[in-house]
Structure 1
Amino acid sequence: MSTPTTPRAVTRADVARYAGVSTSVVSYVVHDGPRPVAADTAARVREAIRVLGYRPNASAQALRTGSSKMLGLIVPELDNPFWSELAVEVTHAAAARGYDVLLANSDGDSVQERERLRTLSARQVDGIIVTSIQTHPDLSTVTDPGIPMVLLNTFFEVPHYVSIGVDACRGALDGTRHLIEHGYDSIGLVMGHAGEMELREQGWMRALRDAGRPDGPIARCDFTRRGGYEAGLRMFGDGTGPRAVFVSSDMQAIGVMRALFELGLRVSEDVAIVSFDGAAEADYTNPQLTTVRQPIEEMAREAVDRVLGGGDEGNRRLVPPELVLGASCGCDVRR
């Protein structure tokens, strides 16, 4: 019995022969340049590609050019709308530079984050953008120490790495001051687990002390809706909770709002809320959340520019946040 043979892969030369052009012309059509191709010639090449079932070999192209035209992106939580929005903006910024994005999810786990770093670097991407919830991410598992890497949405400086993030301390300071301007004497904090005192906590505390207010209660929890819900029950369940609260993420704030509803407390009338992040979901709560918005489009664009070798010099870039007013803080924002 004869052994079946594997069909030979269609090559660029096969397409060129079928279309009656050179292999260079096929390459120009496939890669949209660098030289222009007449419309009728390009149409013949595309028809040859369709008929023959030609699939360009990205690995071979990467070997020839020294570039995979691919960036790696690690996010901690794809089910969190903020991280999803940030990932989308990174893909848009990369596409504008002619790059695709290979996305990996670490589930907010340091072990998985290190593994995703190892696998992405082994795939010979041209650079890696890391969004980490770890205070000090471990970048030692990168198989190619020369690969460009940028830390995105990082609130702190990491020696030897470019990092881009919002000025979180300033954002929390502005958000808490806004609550103080409403006249609230006791302002609590719902804070995600971040190890040492995080910048959002520092901004909240500074605003209170600058105004001569006492430190309000703190409920620590996961950066999730569930975490915020449980923190809200703890902080307000016994009837002695503060009149206002600054929350370290929109997702947590949505959980806090659910807890307040179950406890029979009204948002803004009984408890005022300002949150942090500015995800699109914050625009559709009832009442609409007042939030410290991170400029994710600007941050994503700069991360891509820096990982590809552009942008300003320096290892640390802080982007100013914006306080976006809703009704959850007590403001009258009728539209």
Structure 2
Amino acid sequence: MVAMPHPTSHAKPTTRDDVARMAGVSPAVVSYVVNGGPRAVSPANEAKVRQAIRALGYRPNAAARALALGSSEMLGMIVSDAMNPFFASLARAVENAAAERGYTLLLADSQASLRTERRLIKNFAARRVDGLFLCSMLFEPDLMDLEQADIPAVLLNHSTDLATAGSPAVVKHGAGGHGSNSVGVAFQDGARMAVEHLISHGHERIGLVMGGNAGGDLDAREVGWHQGIQDAGLTAGPIVRAAFSREGGYRAGQELLARSERPTAVFVSSDQQAVGLLCALHEGGLRVPEDLAVFAFDGSPESEYTWPRLSTVAQPVKELAQTALEALLAPRPGGETQTKIFPTELVLRASCGCH
């Protein structure tokens, strides 16, 4: 057996060659063990290499490994609010999907700031990540820094006016057109279905609590809300503009409480807003759904633990993550990009009047 000396704090950094000498193998064999290939190593030699690594405290040089592989094996992801349970669930799903392919995910939070989002994009481009998932504050973000660094990006949780019914829809873009792949859900269809469900409970005056975006563009959820009301021949209820946050929803609830004529139901553009809204309604003495029915959007884990439990338009988080990863790691030939939109699903609970 090879004698294993104790590494000391004063020793120079251990190299791959040091490990090879102690284990009695070539440096290439050490590389194969550390990198999991590309060539197989006998169990006996692998055991000797790993024993030497432990004894010497060897840490592979990540920069050298990236240079040798031509890949950092790291992906970046930017979300607009890491504290939002929906984005937390989405980030975990992306991280799990990336790990299955041997990639590490670096997560960054733009904190709903367009300036921060742009800075983070520059940082990820400078760090030479292998790709970036971007849940942007804009429908058409500036990706020039990534394009100049030849780093692919996928717009995730991307809103579009593309409708889909029952199965994912795909729109292809030619080279030089749409700058990156995008993956999202049918926001408009989901909102319309939620409104139609509220109408089925007999509601004729349905309000909207709507979050905003940095570009001031019309959100597809608002379009779907309008469509559901218009198709039923009803008059639209009041619109309350509020931040995509619990506090925003709470303030929207206070505004609704202050109105002399309140709607009997409200569609809320995110679960997080709806949580704050429910708090304000409870404080104001309103019963949900008897006095005001509530239907939200996202399908976050938090929606199942409100009181009453929140009816919501659920997004297929795992499918979004897997599809976004494939779009990032397997670019289409000829520079062709595509938009993939998944259908949503109504999760019916007590807040809309279902039991």
Q: Which category of TM-score, normalised to the shorter sequence, fits these structures?
A: over 0.9
34-43 vs 279-288, greater mean Cα deviation: 34-43
- The change in CA–CA distance for 1:143 and 1:185 in structure 2 (over 3 A counts) is closer
**2:195 alignment counterpart:** 176
**1:13 alignment counterpart:** 17
Q: What is the alpha-carbon distance in structure 2 between the residues aligned to residue 186 and residue 299 of structure 1?
A: 34
Does the residue aligned with 1:328 lie in a helix, a strand or coil? helix
Q: CA deviation at 1:274?
A: 0.6
Aligned partner of 1:166 among 180, 185, 188: 185
Q: What is the alpha-carbon distance in structure 2 between the residues aligned to residue 133 and residue 250 of structure 1?
A: 18
Q: CA deviation at 1:144?
A: 3.3
Does the residue aligned with 1:160 lie in a helix, a strand or coil? coil
Contact 1:228/1:254 (<8 A) preserved: yes
**1:138 alignment counterpart:** 142
- Map 1:57-206 → 2, pairs under 5 A: 57-142=61-146, 144-156=148-160, 159-194=178-213, 195-206=216-227
Q: CA deviation at 1:25?
A: 1.4
Question: Which amino acid in structure 2 is aligned with residue 301 of structure 1?
Answer: Q
**1:251 alignment counterpart:** 272
Q: CA deviation at 1:134?
A: 2.3
Contact 1:122/1:144 (<8 A) preserved: no
Contact 1:167/1:319 (<8 A) preserved: yes
- The change in CA–CA distance for 1:24 and 1:308 in structure 2 (over 3 A counts) is same
Contact 1:230/1:259 (<8 A) preserved: yes
**2:348 alignment counterpart:** 325
Q: CA deviation at 1:62?
A: 1.1
Does the residue aligned with 1:142 lie in a helix, a strand or coil? helix
Tell me: higher relative CO, structure 1 or 2? Use CA pairs within 8 A at least 6 residues apart: 2
Aligned partner of 2:37 among 20, 27, 33: 33
Q: CA deviation at 1:239?
A: 4.4
245-254 vs 35-44, greater mean Cα deviation: 35-44
Q: What is the alpha-carbon distance in structure 1 between the residues aligned to residue 90 and residue 68 of structure 2?
A: 32
Contact 2:180/2:337 (<8 A) preserved: no
**1:3 alignment counterpart:** none
Residue identity over aligned pairs, in percent, reads 49
Q: CA deviation at 1:310?
A: 5.4
**2:251 alignment counterpart:** 230
Contact 1:160/1:315 (<8 A) preserved: no
Question: Which amino acid in structure 2 is aligned with residue 193 of structure 1?
Answer: G
Q: What is the alpha-carbon distance in structure 1 between the residues aligned to residue 64 and residue 341 of structure 2?
A: 39
Q: What is the alpha-carbon distance in structure 1 between the residues aligned to residue 285 and residue 351 of structure 2?
A: 16
Q: What is the alpha-carbon distance in structure 2 between the residues aligned to residue 145 and residue 69 of structure 1?
A: 16
What is the count of residue pairs matched by the alignment?
328
Q: CA deviation at 1:104?
A: 1.2
Q: What is the alpha-carbon distance in structure 1 between the residues aligned to residue 220 and residue 81 of structure 2?
A: 21
Q: CA deviation at 1:141?
A: 3.6
Give unmatched runs, 5+ long, in structure 1: 1-5
Q: What is the alpha-carbon distance in structure 2 between the residues aligned to residue 167 and residue 145 of structure 1?
A: 31
Q: Under a length normalisation based on structure 2, what TM-score does the superposition of the two structures give? A: 0.89
**1:56 alignment counterpart:** 60
Contact 1:165/1:299 (<8 A) preserved: yes
Question: Which amino acid in structure 2 is aligned with residue 326 of structure 1?
Answer: R
- Map 1:183-332 → 2, pairs under 5 A: 183-194=202-213, 195-309=216-330, 314-332=337-355
244-253 vs 69-78, greater mean Cα deviation: 69-78
- The alignment yields a C-alpha RMSD, in angstroms, of 1.8
